[in-house]
Amino acid sequence: MYVLCRHVKKIAFVASFMVTSVVHASHYDDGLMAYALADYEVAARHFQQAALDGEVGASHMLMRLHQEGKGVPSDKVEAFKWTKKSAENGIAPAQLALANRYFSGNGIAADAKKAFQWYQTAAQQGHHVAYYKLAGFYESGLVVSADKQEAQRLYNVAASEYDVHAQKGHAESQNTLATMYEQGKGVKPNITRALAWYQKSAMQNYAEAQFNVGRLLAGVDGIDQNIEEAAYWFHHAANQGLEKAKQALAALKQEHGTRLAMM
């Protein structure tokens, strides 16, 4: 009888655990479904409950919702709270985001040392952007002693990783890889390849790349100058609110007058 009771209790415990796990998964899965359908308020409620239930991915999604102001008020304090929670849960993109927040001081006190530590943590998980950021620390001597050799090693790793993402069509990676070709970081300097990658990114409506295409075509050694096309790309980037593109377009119009009067 005692053995039977123990078995019954064990079965009840397992059943309870399975039901609880299903409930936890359900809130997170329902949140993902609502997010995919752009029903962000519903998504936020599900992710909030899932986070309270201990679902790791939910904290990352709450971070995104608060950063983007979708379904919840755009709140830097809440965004930071969930970014930190997600980073501590081992989510590499959140670790990178947290490092960026500490580095820029966007809504919090800037802390380069903490930024470096979180970039290191993200890099340990293979995040390509973290390699690039860490290389900058070693190159400049910020937080750590300047080490050109280590900076070059990290740039090499970053370039290889960025190339993979760029080949898959990721616009931001294409733009960064282009910058690396332009500056000779992690790869041999090649302004022609830089322009080609900037153009691929610009064609995906990435504003920073559109500005960069305009910048190269407006007059850079090794690239045939094309004022009209430079103005075209500055115009597109400016329409997305990129302030430096607005300034570049205005300067180009002032210099070339009637040639660009219709832009």
* pLDDT tens digit sequence for 1-10: 444 444 544 4
**Are 162 and 177 a contacting pair, CB within 8 Å?**
yes
The verdict on residue 40 lying in a domain is yes
pLDDT at 12 over 80: no
pLDDT at 194 over 80: yes
The model's pTM is 0.79
Q: Cα–chain-centroid distance for residue 247?
A: 26
Based on the structure, what is the number of domains in the chain? 1
Is the torsion defined by CA of 111, 113, 116, 122 positive or negative?
negative
* pLDDT tens digit sequence for 160-192: 999 999 999 999 999 999 999 999 999 999 999
The verdict on residue 62 lying in a domain is yes
Helices (H), 37-55: 40-52
Q: How much is the pLDDT for 248?
A: 95
Residue among 169, 136, 258, 260 nearest 248 (CA) = 260
The verdict on residue 240 lying in a domain is no
The verdict on residue 43 lying in a domain is yes
Query: Which amino acid would we find at residue 257?
Result: G
Helices (H) and strands (E) in the chain, counts: 13, 0
Averaged over 110-134, what is the pLDDT?
96
The whole-angstrom separation of Cα 44 and Cα 61 is: 8
The whole-angstrom separation of Cα 263 and Cα 253 is: 8
The verdict on residue 2 lying in a domain is yes
Q: Cα–chain-centroid distance for residue 188?
A: 25
* pLDDT tens digit sequence for 25-64: 578 888 888 888 888 888 888 888 888 877 878 888 888 8
Q: How much is the pLDDT for 157?
A: 97
Residue among 216, 242, 243, 240 nearest 230 (CA) = 216
Residue ranges making up the domain that contains 14:
1-89
Which residue carries 């979708």 as its tokens? 70
The verdict on residue 184 lying in a domain is no
The verdict on residue 176 lying in a domain is no
Q: How much is the pLDDT for 263?
A: 55
The verdict on residue 22 lying in a domain is yes
